[in-house]
Protein backbone atom coordinates (compact mmCIF):
# COMPACT_ATOMS: atom_id res chain seq x y z
CA UNK A 1 0.00 0.00 0.00
CA UNK A 2 2.88 2.33 0.78
CA UNK A 3 4.09 2.17 -2.79
CA UNK A 4 0.69 3.26 -4.09
CA UNK A 5 0.99 6.48 -2.14
CA UNK A 6 4.06 7.47 -4.13
CA UNK A 7 4.44 6.49 -7.80
CA UNK A 8 8.13 7.32 -7.90
CA UNK A 9 10.29 4.93 -9.85
CA UNK A 10 13.82 3.97 -8.87
CA UNK A 11 14.54 5.07 -5.30
CA UNK A 12 14.71 2.59 -2.46
CA UNK A 13 13.18 5.21 -0.20
CA UNK A 14 10.59 7.83 -1.04
CA UNK A 15 9.54 11.08 0.53
CA UNK A 16 6.24 10.90 2.37
CA UNK A 17 4.79 14.05 3.88
CA UNK A 18 1.20 13.67 2.93
CA UNK A 19 -2.43 13.99 3.84
CA UNK A 20 -5.05 12.19 1.76
CA UNK A 21 -8.75 12.85 1.99
CA UNK A 22 -11.35 11.08 -0.11
CA UNK A 23 -14.51 12.51 -1.56
CA UNK A 24 -16.13 12.74 1.86
CA UNK A 25 -15.20 15.49 4.29
CA UNK A 26 -12.78 14.11 6.86
CA UNK A 27 -13.72 14.60 10.49
CA UNK A 28 -11.42 14.42 13.50
CA UNK A 29 -12.62 13.18 16.87
CA UNK A 30 -10.94 12.63 20.21
CA UNK A 31 -10.73 8.96 21.18
CA UNK A 32 -11.54 7.68 24.63
CA UNK A 33 -8.70 7.18 27.11
CA UNK A 34 -7.08 3.87 26.23
CA UNK A 35 -4.84 3.55 29.27
CA UNK A 36 -6.64 0.30 30.07
CA UNK A 37 -7.27 -2.77 27.96
CA UNK A 38 -7.76 -2.44 24.21
CA UNK A 39 -10.95 -3.55 22.51
CA UNK A 40 -10.22 -2.69 18.86
CA UNK A 41 -7.20 -1.71 16.75
CA UNK A 42 -8.25 1.94 17.13
CA UNK A 43 -7.23 1.64 20.80
CA UNK A 44 -3.74 0.90 19.43
CA UNK A 45 -3.84 4.05 17.24
CA UNK A 46 -3.70 1.69 14.21
CA UNK A 47 0.05 1.49 14.88
CA UNK A 48 -0.59 -2.09 15.99
CA UNK A 49 -3.32 -4.65 16.47
CA UNK A 50 -5.41 -5.38 19.51
CA UNK A 51 -4.90 -8.95 20.74
CA UNK A 52 -8.38 -9.65 22.00
CA UNK A 53 -7.32 -12.73 23.97
CA UNK A 54 -5.17 -10.58 26.25
CA UNK A 55 -6.73 -7.16 25.51
CA UNK A 56 -3.26 -5.74 24.82
CA UNK A 57 -1.77 -3.98 21.80
CA UNK A 58 0.88 -5.64 19.67
CA UNK A 59 2.72 -2.69 18.13
CA UNK A 60 3.98 -2.50 14.57
CA UNK A 61 7.73 -2.11 13.99
CA UNK A 62 8.79 1.45 14.85
CA UNK A 63 6.13 1.99 17.54
CA UNK A 64 5.90 1.29 21.27
CA UNK A 65 3.77 1.99 24.34
CA UNK A 66 0.56 0.57 25.76
CA UNK A 67 -1.43 2.07 22.87
CA UNK A 68 1.45 2.08 20.32
CA UNK A 69 1.49 5.87 20.25
CA UNK A 70 5.21 6.49 20.73
CA UNK A 71 7.89 6.25 18.05
CA UNK A 72 10.92 4.07 18.81
CA UNK A 73 13.47 6.76 18.06
CA UNK A 74 17.16 5.86 17.92
CA UNK A 75 19.70 8.14 19.67
CA UNK A 76 20.78 10.92 17.35
CA UNK A 77 24.37 11.28 16.11
CA UNK A 78 25.81 14.80 15.95
CA UNK A 79 25.79 14.57 12.14
CA UNK A 80 21.98 14.50 12.18
CA UNK A 81 21.88 18.16 13.27
CA UNK A 82 22.11 20.10 10.01
CA UNK A 83 23.74 23.32 11.20
CA UNK A 84 25.66 25.92 9.21
CA UNK A 85 27.72 28.79 10.57
CA UNK A 86 25.74 32.02 10.36
CA UNK A 87 22.68 30.33 8.89
CA UNK A 88 19.53 28.70 10.21
CA UNK A 89 17.72 25.87 8.44
CA UNK A 90 14.09 24.99 9.06
CA UNK A 91 12.61 21.68 8.04
CA UNK A 92 13.40 19.40 5.17
CA UNK A 93 11.91 17.28 2.42
CA UNK A 94 14.14 14.26 1.77
CA UNK A 95 14.32 11.40 -0.70
CA UNK A 96 16.86 8.73 -1.55
CA UNK A 97 18.48 8.24 -4.96
CA UNK A 98 19.46 4.58 -5.39
CA UNK A 99 21.71 5.30 -8.39
CA UNK A 100 24.00 7.80 -6.66
CA UNK A 101 23.40 6.24 -3.23
CA UNK A 102 22.85 9.71 -1.78
CA UNK A 103 20.08 11.22 0.29
CA UNK A 104 18.76 14.55 -0.97
CA UNK A 105 17.16 17.26 1.11
CA UNK A 106 15.41 20.47 0.11
CA UNK A 107 15.16 22.72 3.14
CA UNK A 108 14.31 26.25 4.20
CA UNK A 109 17.43 28.33 4.82
CA UNK A 110 17.16 31.63 6.70
CA UNK A 111 19.76 33.61 4.78
CA UNK A 112 21.60 36.89 5.38
CA UNK A 113 22.71 36.14 8.96
CA UNK A 114 19.05 36.15 10.00
CA UNK A 115 17.20 33.95 12.46
CA UNK A 116 13.83 32.25 12.17
CA UNK A 117 12.10 35.43 13.33
CA UNK A 118 12.75 36.88 9.87
CA UNK A 119 11.48 33.84 7.99
CA UNK A 120 8.83 35.82 6.08
CA UNK A 121 11.44 37.99 4.36
CA UNK A 122 14.72 36.04 4.23
CA UNK A 123 13.82 32.38 3.75
CA UNK A 124 15.12 30.59 0.67
CA UNK A 125 15.25 26.93 -0.40
CA UNK A 126 18.55 25.10 -0.68
CA UNK A 127 19.44 21.57 -1.76
CA UNK A 128 21.69 19.38 0.42
CA UNK A 129 23.05 15.84 0.15
CA UNK A 130 24.26 13.19 2.58
CA UNK A 131 25.52 9.58 2.42
CA UNK A 132 23.05 8.54 5.14
CA UNK A 133 19.66 9.88 6.27
CA UNK A 134 21.33 11.18 9.43
CA UNK A 135 24.05 13.09 7.62
CA UNK A 136 26.53 14.54 7.49
CA UNK A 137 24.64 16.97 5.26
CA UNK A 138 26.53 19.02 2.66
CA UNK A 139 24.81 22.17 1.34
CA UNK A 140 24.52 22.38 -2.43
CA UNK A 141 22.84 24.95 -4.71
CA UNK A 142 20.07 27.42 -3.84
CA UNK A 143 16.93 26.28 -5.65
CA UNK A 144 14.52 29.14 -4.91
CA UNK A 145 15.58 32.58 -3.67
CA UNK A 146 13.57 34.55 -1.09
CA UNK A 147 10.83 34.54 -0.38
CA UNK A 148 10.43 30.75 -0.27
CA UNK A 149 9.58 28.58 2.73
CA UNK A 150 8.32 25.14 3.79
CA UNK A 151 9.49 23.17 0.71
CA UNK A 152 8.10 19.77 -0.20
CA UNK A 153 9.35 17.80 -3.23
CA UNK A 154 7.57 14.98 -5.05
CA UNK A 155 8.91 12.85 -7.89
CA UNK A 156 6.89 11.75 -10.91
CA UNK A 157 7.26 8.37 -12.61
CA UNK A 158 9.59 9.77 -15.28
CA UNK A 159 11.91 11.30 -12.66
CA UNK A 160 10.56 14.86 -12.90
CA UNK A 161 10.68 16.68 -9.57
CA UNK A 162 8.02 19.17 -8.45
CA UNK A 163 8.81 21.52 -5.58
CA UNK A 164 6.00 23.16 -3.62
CA UNK A 165 6.55 25.91 -1.08
CA UNK A 166 4.66 28.67 0.68
CA UNK A 167 5.64 31.64 -1.52
CA UNK A 168 7.51 30.53 -4.64
CA UNK A 169 10.31 33.11 -4.58
CA UNK A 170 8.03 36.15 -4.39
CA UNK A 171 10.57 38.75 -3.22
CA UNK A 172 13.79 39.12 -5.22
CA UNK A 173 14.96 42.13 -3.14
CA UNK A 174 15.14 40.60 0.29
CA UNK A 175 16.30 41.79 3.70
CA UNK A 176 19.64 41.30 5.42
CA UNK A 177 20.13 41.09 9.17
CA UNK A 178 23.14 42.22 11.16
CA UNK A 179 26.19 40.01 11.22
CA UNK A 180 25.87 38.93 14.83
CA UNK A 181 23.17 36.36 14.03
CA UNK A 182 21.97 37.08 17.53
CA UNK A 183 18.70 38.97 17.18
CA UNK A 184 15.26 37.50 17.00
CA UNK A 185 12.04 39.36 17.65
CA UNK A 186 9.12 38.35 15.47
CA UNK A 187 8.34 40.97 12.82
CA UNK A 188 10.96 43.32 14.31
CA UNK A 189 12.74 45.71 11.94
CA UNK A 190 15.14 47.43 14.34
CA UNK A 191 17.92 44.93 13.62
CA UNK A 192 17.35 44.63 9.86
CA UNK A 193 18.48 46.63 6.87
CA UNK A 194 16.12 46.60 3.91
CA UNK A 195 17.86 45.99 0.62
CA UNK A 196 17.21 48.56 -2.13
CA UNK A 197 13.81 47.84 -3.60
CA UNK A 198 12.87 45.42 -0.83
CA UNK A 199 9.21 44.85 -0.12
CA UNK A 200 7.22 43.69 2.85
CA UNK A 201 6.38 39.98 3.33
CA UNK A 202 4.37 38.27 0.56
CA UNK A 203 0.65 38.97 0.48
CA UNK A 204 -1.93 36.43 1.62
CA UNK A 205 -3.76 34.19 -0.83
CA UNK A 206 -7.46 34.96 -0.65
CA UNK A 207 -10.24 32.39 -1.22
CA UNK A 208 -11.26 31.80 -4.81
CA UNK A 209 -9.52 31.35 -8.17
CA UNK A 210 -5.86 32.32 -8.30
CA UNK A 211 -2.43 31.02 -9.22
CA UNK A 212 -0.05 28.71 -7.41
CA UNK A 213 3.69 28.99 -8.01
CA UNK A 214 5.55 25.69 -8.30
CA UNK A 215 9.05 24.78 -9.49
CA UNK A 216 9.57 21.86 -11.87
CA UNK A 217 12.83 20.06 -12.62
CA UNK A 218 12.27 18.01 -15.82
CA UNK A 219 14.10 14.70 -15.97
CA UNK A 220 13.86 11.90 -18.54
CA UNK A 221 12.83 8.55 -17.06
CA UNK A 222 15.60 6.79 -15.18
CA UNK A 223 17.80 9.85 -14.66
CA UNK A 224 19.06 10.06 -11.09
CA UNK A 225 18.41 12.97 -8.77
CA UNK A 226 22.12 13.77 -8.66
CA UNK A 227 22.54 14.06 -12.42
CA UNK A 228 19.25 15.90 -12.77
CA UNK A 229 19.97 18.66 -10.25
CA UNK A 230 21.98 21.40 -11.91
CA UNK A 231 21.25 24.47 -9.84
CA UNK A 232 18.41 26.94 -9.53
CA UNK A 233 18.49 27.78 -13.24
CA UNK A 234 17.47 24.22 -14.10
CA UNK A 235 14.21 24.49 -12.18
CA UNK A 236 11.31 25.90 -14.18
CA UNK A 237 9.15 28.38 -12.27
CA UNK A 238 5.51 27.82 -13.20
CA UNK A 239 2.26 29.52 -12.31
CA UNK A 240 -0.63 27.07 -12.32
CA UNK A 241 -4.33 27.83 -11.79
CA UNK A 242 -5.76 26.95 -8.40
CA UNK A 243 -9.03 27.45 -6.57
CA UNK A 244 -8.02 28.37 -3.01
CA UNK A 245 -10.55 27.03 -0.47
CA UNK A 246 -9.46 29.52 2.21
CA UNK A 247 -7.38 32.60 2.97
CA UNK A 248 -3.75 31.65 3.59
CA UNK A 249 -0.73 33.73 4.53
CA UNK A 250 1.51 30.66 4.76
CA UNK A 251 0.42 27.85 2.45
CA UNK A 252 2.66 25.15 3.99
CA UNK A 253 1.82 22.74 1.12
CA UNK A 254 1.99 19.00 1.66
CA UNK A 255 1.63 16.93 -1.58
CA UNK A 256 0.95 13.22 -2.12
CA UNK A 257 -0.07 11.07 -5.08
CA UNK A 258 -3.13 8.84 -4.78
CA UNK A 259 -4.15 6.74 -7.80
CA UNK A 260 -2.52 9.13 -10.25
CA UNK A 261 -3.96 12.30 -8.73
CA UNK A 262 -1.84 14.74 -6.74
CA UNK A 263 -3.48 15.97 -3.53
CA UNK A 264 -2.00 19.03 -1.80
CA UNK A 265 -2.80 20.00 1.75
CA UNK A 266 -2.79 23.75 2.49
CA UNK A 267 -2.74 25.79 5.70
CA UNK A 268 -5.47 28.34 6.42
CA UNK A 269 -5.56 31.65 8.23
CA UNK A 270 -8.67 33.34 9.53
CA UNK A 271 -11.47 34.18 7.10
CA UNK A 272 -15.25 34.04 7.20
CA UNK A 273 -15.26 30.22 7.22
CA UNK A 274 -11.90 29.22 8.67
CA UNK A 275 -9.67 29.68 11.69
CA UNK A 276 -5.88 29.86 11.90
CA UNK A 277 -4.42 26.35 11.40
CA UNK A 278 -7.51 24.90 9.71
CA UNK A 279 -6.43 22.68 6.82
CA UNK A 280 -7.88 22.40 3.32
CA UNK A 281 -7.13 20.20 0.31
CA UNK A 282 -6.79 20.75 -3.42
CA UNK A 283 -6.11 18.16 -6.14
CA UNK A 284 -4.88 18.00 -9.74
CA UNK A 285 -4.75 15.17 -12.26
CA UNK A 286 -2.03 17.12 -14.10
CA UNK A 287 0.23 18.45 -11.33
CA UNK A 288 2.58 20.33 -13.69
CA UNK A 289 -0.10 22.37 -15.48
CA UNK A 290 -3.11 22.18 -13.15
CA UNK A 291 -5.75 23.22 -12.48
CA UNK A 292 -5.81 22.48 -8.76
CA UNK A 293 -9.40 22.25 -7.55
CA UNK A 294 -10.70 22.24 -3.99
CA UNK A 295 -11.59 18.82 -2.58
CA UNK A 296 -13.68 20.25 0.26
CA UNK A 297 -14.05 23.39 2.32
CA UNK A 298 -12.16 21.99 5.31
CA UNK A 299 -10.35 18.73 6.07
CA UNK A 300 -9.13 19.66 9.54
CA UNK A 301 -10.80 21.90 12.11
CA UNK A 302 -8.07 23.18 14.40
CA UNK A 303 -10.53 23.58 17.29
CA UNK A 304 -11.08 19.82 17.39
CA UNK A 305 -7.69 19.12 18.94
CA UNK A 306 -6.21 20.61 22.11
CA UNK A 307 -3.32 23.03 21.90
CA UNK A 308 -2.11 24.47 18.59
CA UNK A 309 -1.35 21.52 16.26
CA UNK A 310 0.05 22.39 12.84
CA UNK A 311 2.39 21.33 10.01
CA UNK A 312 1.02 17.84 9.24
CA UNK A 313 2.93 15.02 7.63
CA UNK A 314 1.08 11.89 6.62
CA UNK A 315 1.83 8.38 5.40
CA UNK A 316 0.06 5.08 4.69
CA UNK A 317 1.13 1.97 6.57
CA UNK A 318 1.49 -1.58 5.24
CA UNK A 319 -2.11 -2.41 6.21
CA UNK A 320 -3.51 0.58 4.34
CA UNK A 321 -4.22 2.74 7.39
CA UNK A 322 -3.59 6.50 7.18
CA UNK A 323 -1.52 8.40 9.74
CA UNK A 324 -0.66 12.04 10.35
CA UNK A 325 1.97 13.62 12.60
CA UNK A 326 1.76 17.24 13.69
CA UNK A 327 3.66 19.25 16.26
CA UNK A 328 1.63 20.50 19.20
CA UNK A 329 3.75 22.69 21.43
CA UNK A 330 6.57 20.64 23.01
CA UNK A 331 5.42 17.32 21.60
CA UNK A 332 3.96 15.56 18.58
CA UNK A 333 0.32 14.73 17.91
CA UNK A 334 -0.75 11.59 16.04
CA UNK A 335 -3.94 11.18 13.97
CA UNK A 336 -5.05 7.87 12.49
CA UNK A 337 -7.71 6.65 10.09
CA UNK A 338 -8.82 3.17 9.11
CA UNK A 339 -11.39 4.24 6.53
CA UNK A 340 -9.29 6.05 3.92
CA UNK A 341 -9.46 9.44 5.59
CA UNK A 342 -13.22 9.61 6.15
CA UNK A 343 -12.80 9.60 9.95
CA UNK A 344 -9.65 10.45 11.91
CA UNK A 345 -9.04 9.79 15.60
CA UNK A 346 -6.53 11.39 17.92
CA UNK A 347 -5.45 11.44 21.53
CA UNK A 348 -3.28 14.03 23.24
CA UNK A 349 -1.76 12.12 26.12
CA UNK A 350 1.60 10.67 27.05
CA UNK A 351 3.58 8.95 25.76
CA UNK A 352 3.63 11.24 22.72
CA UNK A 353 4.98 10.25 19.27
CA UNK A 354 7.98 12.53 19.87
CA UNK A 355 8.92 15.33 22.26
CA UNK A 356 11.56 18.03 22.65
CA UNK A 357 13.62 15.60 24.75
CA UNK A 358 16.28 14.02 22.51
CA UNK A 359 18.89 11.38 23.31
CA UNK A 360 22.27 12.08 21.72
CA UNK A 361 24.41 9.08 20.75
CA UNK A 362 27.35 8.82 23.16
CA UNK A 363 26.35 11.96 25.04
CA UNK A 364 23.88 13.31 27.59
CA UNK A 365 20.23 13.89 26.56
CA UNK A 366 19.18 17.41 25.62
CA UNK A 367 15.91 19.31 25.77
CA UNK A 368 15.19 21.33 22.65
CA UNK A 369 13.58 24.74 22.84
CA UNK A 370 11.28 23.71 19.99
CA UNK A 371 10.67 20.76 17.66
CA UNK A 372 8.27 21.20 14.74
CA UNK A 373 7.36 20.30 11.12
CA UNK A 374 7.43 16.46 11.39
CA UNK A 375 7.98 14.51 8.19
CA UNK A 376 7.84 10.71 8.14
CA UNK A 377 9.96 8.75 5.66
CA UNK A 378 9.20 5.07 5.00
CA UNK A 379 11.63 2.37 3.92
CA UNK A 380 11.09 0.04 0.97
CA UNK A 381 8.99 -2.25 3.17
CA UNK A 382 6.64 0.60 4.03
CA UNK A 383 7.85 0.84 7.63
CA UNK A 384 8.68 4.12 9.43
CA UNK A 385 12.37 4.76 8.83
CA UNK A 386 13.30 8.42 9.42
CA UNK A 387 11.65 11.30 11.27
CA UNK A 388 12.59 14.74 9.95
CA UNK A 389 11.86 17.73 12.17
CA UNK A 390 12.83 21.36 12.61
CA UNK A 391 14.50 22.15 15.92
CA UNK A 392 16.16 24.78 18.06
CA UNK A 393 18.21 24.63 21.24
CA UNK A 394 18.11 28.23 22.48
CA UNK A 395 15.81 31.21 22.82
CA UNK A 396 17.48 33.26 20.08
CA UNK A 397 15.79 31.57 17.14
CA UNK A 398 18.96 29.81 15.99
CA UNK A 399 17.36 26.78 14.38
CA UNK A 400 18.32 23.74 12.34
CA UNK A 401 16.93 20.68 10.60
CA UNK A 402 17.20 17.35 12.38
CA UNK A 403 16.90 13.78 11.08
CA UNK A 404 16.39 10.80 13.39
CA UNK A 405 16.29 7.10 12.61
CA UNK A 406 13.44 4.90 13.84
CA UNK A 407 14.04 1.43 15.30
CA UNK A 408 12.00 -1.13 13.33
CA UNK A 409 13.78 -4.23 14.67
Q: Supply the DSSP symbol for 5.
A: G
Q: CB count, 10 Å around CB of 289? A: 12
Three-state DSSP at 233 gives helix
Q: What is the pLDDT of residues 142-163, one digit of tens each?
A: 888 888 998 988 888 888 899 9
Could you say which DSSP state residue 321 is in? -
User: In a structure prediction context, what are the per-residue pLDDT tens digits for the chain, which is 409 residues long?
Assistant: 333 333 333 333 333 333 222 223 333 333 333 446 899 999 999 999 999 999 999 999 999 999 999 999 999 999 999 988 778 899 889 998 887 889 999 999 988 778 888 888 888 999 999 999 999 999 998 888 888 998 988 888 888 899 999 888 866 555 566 544 333 332 333 333 444 445 566 778 899 999 999 999 887 544 555 544 545 568 889 999 999 999 998 888 888 887 888 988 888 888 999 988 887 888 999 999 999 999 877 777 777 777 788 888 878 888 988 888 889 989 999 988 887 766 778 888 889 999 999 999 999 899 999 999 999 998 989 899 999 999 998 766 789 999 999 999 9
Enter the DSSP assignment of 303.
G
Return the CA Rg of the chain.
20
Q: Does residue 327 contact residue 309 with C-beta atoms inside 8 Å?
A: yes
Helices and strands, counts by H and E, the chain: 2, 30
Distance CA 13, CA 217 (A): 19
DSSP per residue, 34-73: -SS---SGGGGTTSEEEETTTTEEEEPTTEESTTS-EE-B
CA 117, CA 81: separation in Å to the nearest integer?
A: 20
| Cα distance between residue 169 and residue 192, in whole Å | 20
- DSSP codes of every residue in 75-138: PBPGGGEE-BTTBEEEEEEEEEETTTTEEEEEEEEE-TT--GGGHHHHEEEEEEEESSTT---E
User: Is the dihedral angle over the CA atoms 320, 342, 22, 149 positive or is it negative?
Assistant: negative
- Local structure of 304: helix, strand or coil: helix
Maximum distance among all Cα pairs of the chain, rounded to whole angstroms: 71
pTM of the model: 0.83
- CA 227 to CA 12: how far, in whole Å? 17
Give residues with Cβ within 8 angstroms of 194, minimum separation 6.
175
Classify the C-alpha dihedral 11-358-395-130 as positive or negative.
negative
**Residue 405 to residue 407: CA distance in whole angstroms:** 7
Amino acid sequence: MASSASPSAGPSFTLLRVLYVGAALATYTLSADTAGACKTDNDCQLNGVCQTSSATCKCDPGWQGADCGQLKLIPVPETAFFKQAGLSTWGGSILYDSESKLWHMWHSEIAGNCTLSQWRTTSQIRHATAPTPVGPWSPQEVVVTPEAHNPQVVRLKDGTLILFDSYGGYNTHWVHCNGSHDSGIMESRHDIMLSPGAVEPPPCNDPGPGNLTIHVLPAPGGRSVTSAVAGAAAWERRSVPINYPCRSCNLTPSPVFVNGTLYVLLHCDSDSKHKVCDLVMVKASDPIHGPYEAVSERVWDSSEAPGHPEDPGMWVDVRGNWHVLLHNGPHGLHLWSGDGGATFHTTDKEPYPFTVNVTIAGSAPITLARRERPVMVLDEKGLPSVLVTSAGTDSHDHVFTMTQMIDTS
